[in-house]
Structure 1
Amino acid sequence: MEDLQSEKEYLRKVNNILSGKLRNLEAEYSYHSPYVYAIGDMENNWEFEIKKMNALQAKKTLPPKIDLLKKILESPYFGKIYIEDEIGKREIYIGENNIDHEDVNLVSSYSSSYGDIFAKKLPILSINGNKIKLFKTRHFNIHNRRLCGYKDYEVLHTEKKTDLLEAYKKYITSDFLRNQLLNRGTKGLKPIFQTIDQLQNEIIRMPVNQNVLVQGVPGSGKTTLGLHRLSYIIYQLDKEKMFTKILAICPSNLFLSYIQEQAPNLNLKSVKFQSARDIFFSILPKGINIAKPKIRDDLTYFFNNKFNIDKRGMYASWFRNKGSKGYVELMEIYLKGIKHQLFNRDYSKLHPLLTNSFMLHVLKKYETLPFNSMLLRAASYIEQRLEIIAKDQVDFILPVIKRDLLKYKLNTEKVYQGFLKTKRLFSNREFAELNFNQNKWYEEDIPALIYLSFLIDNVPQKEVDFNHIFIDEGQDLTYVQYVLLKKVFKEASFTIVGDLNQEIFLQRGIESWDFIIPLFKSRLLKLNYNYRSSKEIMNLATSTLIAPSFTGIGVIETGLKPKALKFDGYKSDIYNWGRIYKEHIAKWLQKNESIAIITNSIGESENISITLNEIGIKNTNVVGTSESNLYIANITIISALQVKGLEFDNIIVYNPSNRNYPHDVYFSKLLYMVLTRALHNIIIALVEPPSKLLYKAESEFLIENRRI
């Protein structure tokens, strides 16, 4: 009781100091605000001009500082370590940000060495040559500036040399971790500071200039870990007084808004967030038009429903091939042929120097340059040689050479079209025919067009001052896209996270990390623990995979098995959804838990929303093509292809039938991804007989397989 009281007093002290800082910032902002829109004679009144300039600067810099301080005030720290070092026994509070007052550190940042101690939970560590003993960590539950309680974690000490694995296993099975995971919600990404494992901590703290590649199962904290690494990088670069600019690439605008709105208070002030699609559209050469999709849903859904399995597979493979290493190698061969054809000439009639062998020598000298630059440099080199040995003939010979060379300056689109028309390049006859008949460019052509523009004109570098790039859902990028990112952001280091089991797009993605490991010179790190979904949910999801690349382990066991409910075909949709609402949805809403109904298309989502409306459930949010914000309603209705990366307390998977989820590798990954969106409860709502992918699940991992 005495300990609790002292902790409350310390929190009160920190809150008072932070409140004082907040009042000072708000007062400063209020002082400057009137001058932002003030009008005066700036030419003849220097004092007014200074005030105006200061006001405009304050308007730009103070609001983010005020917002950050308000967030810190809500929960200024989350932990404490009890250590002994050369100074003596000490207690150090750990938070997401440093909090200092009058040269005294009240809270140390998680990104500091003390945060590392808190995360590792090892009995003895050495930091900068200083031996530190750790006895205990304390984990606080602070909400709305109030201390609601705390839990202590006693650190394992043994006589033998520190055993990292033993300490980690003790933590991973602790009641503390289980309670933390069971009591978390899903409305937004949550900090992983209090539930972090050893490998996650090591990944976050890897050197700033080191490329990091992470394969993580669903719920392993890949995205949050990546954002925490960005926070750590900013902390380290700021400490060294170095310039910081970071780019975070997300799979879609929907997920982008989810991260930006719901990410924890990580002070990511130097991070620019952008979707992968927008990045590649922004570096596409001007004047190249991309065909607009004629369908509402993602191209993958179009494949799933328009074509039979064979034709769907052919079109998907055709598009996927456009992002492959082999495809760009063929483009290089095609362009090399054009170069050779251009320089394999003999101009010795004009001058004995200009033999066929000389022209091929010029080609060899400059062939590594972009094509159009190569032509200019070649013409210039020939001019220099002629100036030396035939100065009096330069004005006659050079125009002929320049005319022949420079008239072949290339245009990206025309070269690409010529490439597609060259059937002999493509060993796959179906691909060759599809390429030959292609008369417009799709989104899947964009990386190839950009790569070709590098070969021809060398696209101007974009934002080369980025010093770190974070890529989420990395399995959905193609090999060519990775090559382009390395070309555009030459000086940056990369953190890439993803899961090959969640590669859910038929027409794009990377089949193995082995393709990009050499590009980034990084070893593959694996996160196998799922901290989001229960063991029961993880077992169900894993059972649907046909050929898993990796398998995960659920950390928590709730005893709540997923349920399968069959729609009554003799009753209306209103009746069936009404029963599900009364038996399940209403209870979840009472507990203020997040709910998602995961459908097979946007159209299906809209129909279900109409049905729910008719039975009086008004507060629903259908996520459509506009990629609207999440969590603006109690119930989110979203298609399977849009839900990746998101999480909900409870999900209802609508009609995972053989028609919607055929028995093949691709659909097994899609269903696996859908099922692992849930934290606590899954209901599988069956309108038709279940997919064969669920056969094993029916007998082992589902309960209440009954009619509604």
Structure 2
Amino acid sequence: MPAAPAEPDETEILAAERAHLAESRTALRRMREHAENLSADVAADWVSKQYLESLLDQRVAALADRPGTPLFFGRMDRAAAGGPDLPAVMYVGRRHVHDGEEGRPLVLDWRAPVSRAFYQAGPADPMGWRLRRRFGFQAGELTAFEDEPLDGPGGGGQGPSRILTEEIERPRTGPMRDIVATIQPEQDVIVRADLPRTVCVQGAPGTGKTAVGLHRAAYLLFTHRERLSRSGVLIVGPNRAFLAYISAVLPALGEVRVDQATIDGLLGAPLGEEPAAVSAAKGDARMADVVRAALWLHVRKPEEGLVVTRGSARYRLAGHEVREIAAELRGTTRYGAGRAAFAQRLAHRILVLMEQRGEAPDDRVQDQVARSRPVKQVLDAVWPKVTAEQVLHRLLSDAEFLRRAAKGVLDEDEQAAIRWPGPPRSHRSARWTAADRALLDELNGLIERTASLGHLVVDEAQDLSAMQLRALGRRCGTGSATVLGDLAQGTTAWSARSWADVLTHLGQDGEVTELSLGFRVPGTVLDYAARLLPHVAPGLERPRSLRPGAGALDVRRVPDVLAAACAAARAALDRPGSVGLIVPDAAAAAHAAALADAGLESEVLGPESDGAARLLVIPATLAKGLEYDHVIVAEPAAIAAAEARGLARLYVALTRAVTSLTVLHRDDLPAELVAS
């Protein structure tokens, strides 16, 4: 009886997998060369040629081979009864790679329907597969593999994947990395939610909610390429530093043209500041009714009729007829469209009079009448042309006008709170605040229609006011959204208290999913920060971490916080990974100077900086959404005392660490943090 063939040993397996990697890289290079050689000259006209050239440029950019990024990270082997539609072996990677001559798939895109099994298959449901193999890489070179049986005795009994754990814990420097190799089953369900669905993710620190949102954008672009290439996808983040941090994720997944913006970038940068209480009042959802009323108060009751002269003939509309037309249109359409319709309705009534006299006017005559001086005079008197800036300037500077617009909505104290104490002379000299920008956008949306995107990803959504959410809702009115955030990390004066409210203001019907199991933040660090949860978000589930994090937390009282922070930063720099020194905003300059005096090169993170330095001094108000291998938090009590929701800000600062957290304080810690 012939002996059974020997199973290949680890060295042979690694050699075979490296050969497949080399073959895949060669195939990808050929795919790119083929795309570069394609010509847009086949287009029928200049516009089509420009569009085709743009598509080809995107295709070439998407096929770029990044040497440090593995082409594939996993493999699935089919079970004997896996079904005829399943390949025998499937390599899963960041993009599709095929053999140019045979068209044989060498790597399947992680977003392809068949690739779902790599993330979802398990012993309870192998989904037609018998083996999952994960690969370990260093600097783009395949160095290790790990097999996980999916069926038969012992399937799934090996415990957590070592390679997956090492990938999660790998030191991070520079921009945020994709998590395509480490997506967990519960994350994958969110990522693959279909386009029409709006998904809201309540994610505790370290649960990967931001990465999930970005990967959902990449998945939707892959699955609905043609539709979303027309309507667009937009990522909205809290500040430019955050957007710089996440900027490399989608390009690494082959999506090179996705717009990113902050809320200020969308609505306009604020020119002035105001007390938090005033901003909160202006951000209240009731202001939508106030500004709507303010706009329509500009439509005045007609006092006279209309007389139009055509040659020797005169055509007259009585005052009551003009009032009737205005009343029919008022408030039933957008202000700008209503103004245009009012002129056309007046002109149409004149044409009816002309026909009654035996004339035969056509549409051109109606347009001429609509543009005539008498109609324009009535139009400007009854339905004047206004801008959002003019309306809001009048609303905030004219007490009587504000009283009329806010009647039954805001009481006298609330009106006094939002009214300008010393109004600017005109709307052109107004120092619009961030809250004002949202009101202006609301007015612009009432005057003219706001174009809608196909999909909107909103991160840190808990920090947006109701009026800002309404502004974003107008931008996905015919599309869908992925809403990301953590109610416990709400730090603005208008921070949301429930996701139901957020979805209502956004104008979307969505489902809320809670991610409470963390992968990034060590357990000891997360448990320490969670002491604040009962005080900042008592209704949330206490977060848990897959990583125990023994020795990751160090809380020390020191006589000199500046000196201790320098020493802690020096020690952290001796270890792999990025270092973030999170400080009260007012102390950032002093800490940067102390580090420089100690001979440590650092950069102070600003709203527009890219945060590329290995050692960063981070004002606490900019820490949200960022993560670092080693975090040093200086003087927690000062961070907590700096603003009304300071404990939430401190919770953010304490949950930025991936490997270690050092807390340094001279003053007493906040009582809420001391109590367990």
Q: 1:653/1:389 Cα in 2 relative to 1: closer, same or farther (>3 Å)?
A: same
Q: Following the alignment from structure 1 to structure 2, what is the Cα–Cα distance between the partners of residues 557 and 158?
A: 29
Is 1:378 paired with 2:370? no
Quote the residue 1:656 is aligned against.
636
Q: What is the aligned counterpart of 1:522 among 503, 510, 534?
A: 510
Q: 1:6/1:255 Cα in 2 relative to 1: closer, same or farther (>3 Å)?
A: same
Shift in Å at residue 665 of structure 1? 7.0
Q: What is the aligned counterpart of 1:276 among 240, 246, 263?
A: 263
Shift in Å at residue 96 of structure 1? 1.2
C-alpha distance after superposition, 1:313-371 (max 9, x if no partner): xx3132122222201111122334443xx136575999996354862454224532233
Unaligned runs of 5+ in 2: 1-7, 42-48, 309-314, 358-365, 425-429
Shift in Å at residue 9 of structure 1? 1.9
Q: Following the alignment from structure 1 to structure 2, what is the Cα–Cα distance between the partners of residues 478 and 448?
A: 11
3-state SS of 2:441 partner: helix
Q: Following the alignment from structure 2 to structure 1, what is the Cα–Cα distance between the partners of residues 159 and 302?
A: 68
The number of equivalent residue pairs is 618
Quote the residue 2:70 is aligned against.
75
Judge conservation of contact 1:26–1:66 (CA < 8 Å) in 2. no
User: Which letter maps to 1:496?
Assistant: V
C-alpha distance after superposition, 1:161-184 (max 9, x if no partner): xxxxx98xx899666654543445
Q: What is the aligned counterpart of 1:234 among 197, 221, 233?
A: 221
Quote the residue 2:548 is aligned against.
557
TM-score (norm 1): 0.77
Q: 1:357/1:253 Cα in 2 relative to 1: closer, same or farther (>3 Å)?
A: same
Is 1:8 paired with 2:39? no
Instruction: Tell me whether 478-487 or 552-561 shows the greater mean CA deviation.
Output: 478-487
Q: 1:259/1:670 Cα in 2 relative to 1: closer, same or farther (>3 Å)?
A: same
Q: Following the alignment from structure 1 to structure 2, what is the Cα–Cα distance between the partners of residues 522 and 158?
A: 41
Q: 1:244/1:98 Cα in 2 relative to 1: closer, same or farther (>3 Å)?
A: farther
Judge conservation of contact 2:240–2:609 (CA < 8 Å) in 1. no
3-state SS of 1:268 partner: coil
Shift in Å at residue 532 of structure 1? 0.9
Q: Following the alignment from structure 2 to structure 1, what is the Cα–Cα distance between the partners of residues 644 and 636?
A: 15
Quote the residue 2:612 is aligned against.
631
3-state SS of 1:520 partner: coil
Q: Following the alignment from structure 1 to structure 2, what is the Cα–Cα distance between the partners of residues 96 and 556?
A: 26
Q: 1:647/1:16 Cα in 2 relative to 1: closer, same or farther (>3 Å)?
A: same
Shift in Å at residue 73 of structure 1? 7.1
C-alpha distance after superposition, 1:25-53 (max 9, x if no partner): 57997x99xxxxxxxxxxxxx9xxxxxxx
Q: Following the alignment from structure 1 to structure 2, what is the Cα–Cα distance between the partners of residues 68 and 211?
A: 30
Matches within 5 A, 1:7-406: 7-19=14-26, 21-22=28-29, 65=60, 68-71=63-66, 74-84=69-79, 85-87=82-84, 90-101=88-99, 102-123=102-123, 132-155=127-150, 178-183=165-170, 185=172, 187-238=174-225, 245-261=232-248, 265-281=252-268, 292-293=271-272, 315-339=275-299, 342-343=300-301, 345=303, 347=305, 354=318, 356=320, 359-360=323-324, 362-389=326-353, 402-406=376-380
Q: Following the alignment from structure 1 to structure 2, what is the Cα–Cα distance between the partners of residues 24 and 173?
A: 37
3-state SS of 2:252 partner: coil
Shift in Å at residue 652 of structure 1? 0.9
Instruction: Tell me whether 398-407 or 510-519 shows the greater mean CA deviation.
Output: 398-407
Judge conservation of contact 1:599–1:638 (CA < 8 Å) in 2. yes
Q: Following the alignment from structure 2 to structure 1, what is the Cα–Cα distance between the partners of residues 348 and 35?
A: 66
Quote the residue 2:312 is aligned against.
none
Shift in Å at residue 639 of structure 1? 0.3
Instruction: Tell me whether 229-238 or 591-600 shows the greater mean CA deviation.
Output: 229-238
Judge conservation of contact 1:234–1:270 (CA < 8 Å) in 2. no
Q: 1:153/1:402 Cα in 2 relative to 1: closer, same or farther (>3 Å)?
A: same
Quote the residue 2:650 is aligned against.
671
Shift in Å at residue 16 of structure 1? 3.8
Shift in Å at residue 451 of structure 1? 1.4
3-state SS of 2:573 partner: helix
3-state SS of 1:325 partner: coil
3-state SS of 2:632 partner: strand
Shift in Å at residue 247 of structure 1? 1.9
Q: 1:595/1:452 Cα in 2 relative to 1: closer, same or farther (>3 Å)?
A: same
Q: 1:412/1:664 Cα in 2 relative to 1: closer, same or farther (>3 Å)?
A: closer
3-state SS of 1:193 partner: coil
Q: Following the alignment from structure 1 to structure 2, what is the Cα–Cα distance between the partners of residues 427 and 635?
A: 50
TM-score (norm 2): 0.80
Judge conservation of contact 2:175–2:244 (CA < 8 Å) in 1. no
Shift in Å at residue 537 of structure 1? 0.9
Instruction: Tell me whether 424-433 or 215-224 shows the greater mean CA deviation.
Output: 424-433
Q: 1:530/1:74 Cα in 2 relative to 1: closer, same or farther (>3 Å)?
A: closer
Judge conservation of contact 1:72–1:265 (CA < 8 Å) in 2. no
Q: 1:232/1:430 Cα in 2 relative to 1: closer, same or farther (>3 Å)?
A: closer
Shift in Å at residue 154 of structure 1? 3.1
Shift in Å at residue 240 of structure 1? 9.2
Q: What is the aligned counterpart of 1:513 among 495, 499, 514?
A: 499
Q: 1:587/1:58 Cα in 2 relative to 1: closer, same or farther (>3 Å)?
A: farther
Identity of aligned residues (%): 19
Instruction: Tell me whether 183-192 or 238-247 shows the greater mean CA deviation.
Output: 238-247
Shift in Å at residue 261 of structure 1? 3.8
Matches within 5 A, 1:454-473: 454-455=445-446, 457-458=447-448, 461-462=450-451, 466-473=453-460
Quote the residue 1:502 is aligned against.
489
Quote the residue 1:609 is aligned against.
592
Q: Following the alignment from structure 1 to structure 2, what is the Cα–Cα distance between the partners of residues 577 and 214?
A: 35
Quote the residue 1:442 is aligned against.
433
Instruction: Tell me whether 80-89 or 516-525 shows the greater mean CA deviation.
Output: 80-89
Q: Following the alignment from structure 1 to structure 2, what is the Cα–Cα distance between the partners of residues 24 and 109?
A: 15
Judge conservation of contact 1:15–1:73 (CA < 8 Å) in 2. no
C-alpha distance after superposition, 1:74-107 (max 9, x if no partner): 4121111122212388332111111211221112
